[in-house]
Amino acid sequence: MKMGLDFGQFKNMANVDLKATRPRHFNISTVATHWSTASATWYGSPNGFGSDGGSCGYGTAVSQAPFSSMVTGIGPSLYHAGRECGACYEVKCTKHPSCSRKPARVVITDFCPGGPCASDRAHFDLSGTAFGAMAKPGQEKHLRDAGVLQIRFARVECDYSRTNIVFRVDQGSNPNYFATVIEFQEGDGDLAGVSLKEKNSNKWLKMVQSWGAVWKIDPGRELHPPFSLRLISQYSEKTLVAKDVIPSGWKPGATYRSVVNYL
């Protein structure tokens, strides 16, 4: 990805291990919003969505509701090798004359590896749409012309207007290998683990994070659908089960919507 882009008291920029510092059943909603300082740029078209899905694997979904182009690439200090794909932040600017001082909510969908993304303690490479959302009405262009901008950011719960979790089957999936992009986890739904259960089985098979928001399983044998998927939240450790969400006759590239979410 090119340039053009905490938990406050629970995690600082020295890369402290979150698991070692958070309470066992930590919930984002129970912590007061804690604002930190970062730098920000934007990439892609002025009113666009950055890049087509970026390194998290969301594809064209980034331009559609509920992401609605309000997305960002993130530097290494917050990206954590893709584990933070889908995490939500509020960002705002206060020092430029065109800043509205009002926060805009964005979702991590991409990785920004070089330049200030790597050298700054925290850096957001926002879509043109998201960058402009920090401006006063009618002054979006003036703000986008500012170059590298100092902003404030805060980790917040995701809110997708009660959209249920979606599973988009990876194109490389086949009867012996299954991978899926998991989208739209609300609340404290950053994932610590995903498991799959086959038809007529009581055994949960552990999936592993392949890259970005993609989770996979490769058991060395044919898998038998329909599949139920079990999700475990990274922070509250809340468990959700999407029962038989992947049907018999599933297709690579198809999207299957669950009836569950973390709110």
**pLDDT tens digits for range 192-232:** 899 999 999 999 999 999 988 999 999 999 999 999 999 99
Whether residue 72 has pLDDT greater than 60: yes
**pLDDT tens digits for range 87-107:** 999 999 999 999 999 999 999
Instruction: Assign 3-class secondary structure to the chain.
Output: CCCCCCCHHHCCCCCCCHHHHCCCCCCHHHCCCCCEEEEEEEECCCCCCCCCCHHHCCHHHHHCCCCCCCEEEECHHHHHHHCCCCCEEEEECCCCCCECCCCEEEEEEEECCCCHHHHCCCEEEEEHHHHHCCECCCCHHHHHCCCCEEEEEEEECECCCCCCCEEEECCCCECCEEEEEEECCCECCCEEEEEEECCCCCCCEECEEEECCEEEECCCCCCCCCEEEEEEECCCCCEEEEEEEECCCCCCCCEEECCCCCC
Return mean pLDDT, the chain: 87
What's the predicted TM-score (pTM) here? 0.82
**pLDDT tens digits for range 141-152:** 999 999 999 999
User: What pLDDT, on the 0 to 100 scale, is given for residue 18?
Assistant: 35
